[in-house]
Structure 1
């Protein structure tokens, strides 16, 4: 390692990549539907007569599309570069998102729109951005990933008041247009100016034509891949289910509408803290242990949210634990791929794991919504999630030591 190329030097040379990734991820396919569907759901239910479960089904459609789009984008990013993928996907995603404002009351049209959004926006998923971050950072990989993925939390905080203003002034259809403009007007120009294919750029901290690690085919045969896939699916279901339904969960717990508006942004705030703190912890402690502690704690949240007489401190504590875990789960997945499978086929392996992650995150809101449609509450889903989070997070402890790859890229 060259003198002056420590972790602080990594940030001096790679801050542009982190900033572009933060905005690209924060205004991309991963957080935008997830954090905003609960805001639009009451308006669409009132105008079209749709149930909460039917509206949340849009996220399930997104999940099915990501099943093939995620791995495809991972392979494409490896062939033509992450910069090209990101710059093409950002404007297409924004335009597709705007078309939700044209919903006419047809569920078929609504679901087809979500299918288009997922397909065109797949290049904005963390698969693209974290590949670049992993190439630019080594000693501070966890913190850099945390800062980059912090964009989801920032969007979670900013989206609520932004949408409240848009919908209050112009209606819910304008809310979709206003959201679709964000990746086009903010993330796209930033990525154009700052984001690069760092594996071939002269200033890249980590640069070589043959990075170490497994190929996709080799990784699929690894027991660690199967363990991660089987754990990420239930964890993402249990964490992804409550957030889009959070407004309804809180109201069912006796929280008034005004207080709900002050509580829901805590998810985004806690997510930001989780990104930074989680990234810092991943750089300093054994990642599976960090993941076990942080991702099992929301089990307490799910138990607390089953109450029918929630006070502000209890509701806030439950939301903060969920948000903190949401801030870590993406960091953990990216960190695990880099440390246990290497960077040779990082985007493709990440893309395959993202399939399992998105399955849980996509079916979670729908499953929770159906629970409400059938029982008038979320008690069953929340109780199951209590157990699932602890058991699945504990399985990470079986991963063992990080892998060493003899031909892993070296710092230049």
Structure 2
């Protein structure tokens, strides 16, 4: 009798998890969107192209050396990404996100103190990339995936639009800051954004389903073990290595043109004002790629979606490789690159959940981020070196087309989705 009473008391003292695909999950999506927008993934990447001419003029550094900062970030993230993913699985996404947003903002601000030593500058990028790793996509997608099942792709897509919003707004904002207050002040102001905007919103609205059950009921949530593979099990799965190969090529092709985009258009003899007009649509197309891609992922087989969508940046890269291109065609090419760049991380986040489950989602995502960091890290510097050697980007852009073709076709070998139970108590 006493044992039965104890079991009844335990049952009454536990609270069920909130349902997936509920309205509470969309609040988390909005908070994730803001957190991602203020993080390590978009802010340095979308602003380096604005700061590079100023730093080149100030210190005499080559364009390839300045693009090397992206490579430094990517190399560091290859090590810190998996560690951040493990920390998310072990300690929870929210504390990792809050600490990392604060430290990332402070280290980004330190770039405004740069002197003429390129190695010190690279050291600042190492520190920023290490401390800011908790703001990368794995942190936010770990939590968003837990809130959704039927609308998972759309939720991932909307949350991921944070990077596109940053890409759309941060370039003109950076240009205005640099033009009116100088590049040092611009670094300080942009670095303050994760602290002033990101921290409060994440602190108030970003939470996992388990935390939501505790807060909303005041009771202990039911113990839950998510279904899926451990990292060790995933490493023995052929699909892990298919995705590794495919995303290495895709990341190279989609990342490399972005920080070089302004310079690619300069080689096509466009004026500065024309370049501003042509590139204005990039951020919006990234947003569109995320939302449309997420919508399609919920309805069609993901590898087929990848092939269909990645055809567009293939065409865009080919158009930009031509000896001459007019402004309208250049605008179309930039938009196609944005659509592809917007879809890339949504695709990865979705494929990991579908093929490997959520048991070790953060750790597996962090490991894949190493692949993307490597491919994306060597891309900009390869493009920069091609420009330094030839004064053009045509051969680099055509290599990107080839990478997209091979990478997208490789994903077709993934086969059917495994069947995972949603959660096991």
Give the TM-score normalised by the residue count of structure 2.
0.92
Which residue does 1:349 correspond to in 2? 364
The unaligned stretches of length 5 or more in structure 1 are: none
Q: Which residue is 1:389 aligned to?
A: 404
Partner of 1:70: 81
Q: How far 1:175 sits from its partner (Å)?
A: 1.4
CA contact (8 A) 1:53 1:373 kept: yes
> Which residue in 2 is equivalent to 1:372?
387
Equivalent-residue separation in structure 2 for 1:203 and 1:304 (angstroms): 54
CA positional deviation for 1:223: 0.6
Alignment of structure 1 residues 139-218 onto 2, 5 Å:
139-202=150-213, 209-218=224-233
Shift of 1:196: 1.3
User: Which residue number corresponds to residue 261 of structure 1?
Assistant: 276
1:408 is displaced (CA, Å) by 3.0
Match of residue 106, structure 2, among 65, 84, 95: 95
Aligned partner of 2:247 in structure 1 is: 232
Q: Are positions 1:25 and 2:36 aligned together?
A: yes
Q: How many residues align?
A: 405
Once residues 423 and 311 of structure 2 are traced to their aligned partners in structure 1, the CA distance between those partners, rounded to angstroms, is 34
Does 1:273 pair with 2:293? Answer: no
In structure 2, distance between residues paired with 1:140 and 1:207: 24
Distance change (3 Å), C-alpha of 1:345 and 1:310: same
Q: CA deviation at 1:300?
A: 1.2
Which residue matches 1:296? 311
Q: How many angstroms apart in 2 are the aligned matches of 1:265 and 1:124?
A: 25
Q: CA 1:204–1:273 in 2, change beyond 3 Å: closer, same or farther?
A: farther
What is the alpha-carbon distance in structure 1 between the residues aligned to residue 162 and residue 26 of structure 2?
Answer: 14
Counting only pairs closer than 5 Å after superposition, residues 38-117 of structure 1 correspond to structure 2 as: 38-117=49-128
Distance 1:32 1:197 in 2: 25
What is the CA distance between 1:203 and its match in structure 2?
A: 7.4
Equivalent residues of 1:149, 1:331 under 8 A apart = yes
Question: 1:216 Cα deviation (Å)?
Answer: 0.8
Distance 1:215-1:163 versus aligned 2 partners, 3 A rule: same
Counterpart among 334, 337, 342 of residue 352 in structure 2: 337
CA distance in structure 2 between the aligned counterparts of 1:150 and 1:391, rounded to whole angstroms: 26
Match of 1:14 in 2: 25
Aligned partner of residue 202 in structure 1, secondary structure: helix
Structure 2 CA distance for partners of 1:13 and 1:107, relative to 1, 3 Å: same
**Structure 1: 4+ residue segments shifted above 4 A:** 4-7, 203-208
| Residue 5 (structure 2) aligns with | none
SS in 1 for 2:419: coil
Query: Quick one: distance in 2 between partners of 1:271 and 1:164?
Result: 20
**Aligned residue for 1:358?**
373
What is residue 423 of structure 2 aligned with on the other side? 409
Residue 366 of structure 1, CA deviation: 1.0
Work out whether 1:245 is the aligned partner of 2:260. Answer: yes
Counterparts of 1:404 and 1:218, CA distance in 2: 16
Q: d(CA) in 1 for partners of 2:145 and 2:223?
A: 13
Q: 1:127 aligns with which of 105, 117, 138?
A: 138
Residue 263 of structure 2 aligns to a residue whose secondary structure is helix
Q: Which whole-Å CA distance do the structure 2 matches of 1:203 and 1:239 have between them?
A: 41
The 2-side partners of 1:126 and 1:382 are apart by 26
Q: Equivalent residue of 1:297, what SS?
A: helix
Larger of the two Rg values belongs to structure: 2
Q: CA deviation at 1:204?
A: 10
Contact in 1 for aligned 2:81/2:366 (Cα 8 Å): yes
Contact 2:252–2:403 at 8 Å: present in 1 too?
no
Q: Cα distance, 1:267 vs. partner?
A: 1.2
Q: 1:207, 1:409 within 8 Å by CA — same for their partners in 2?
A: no
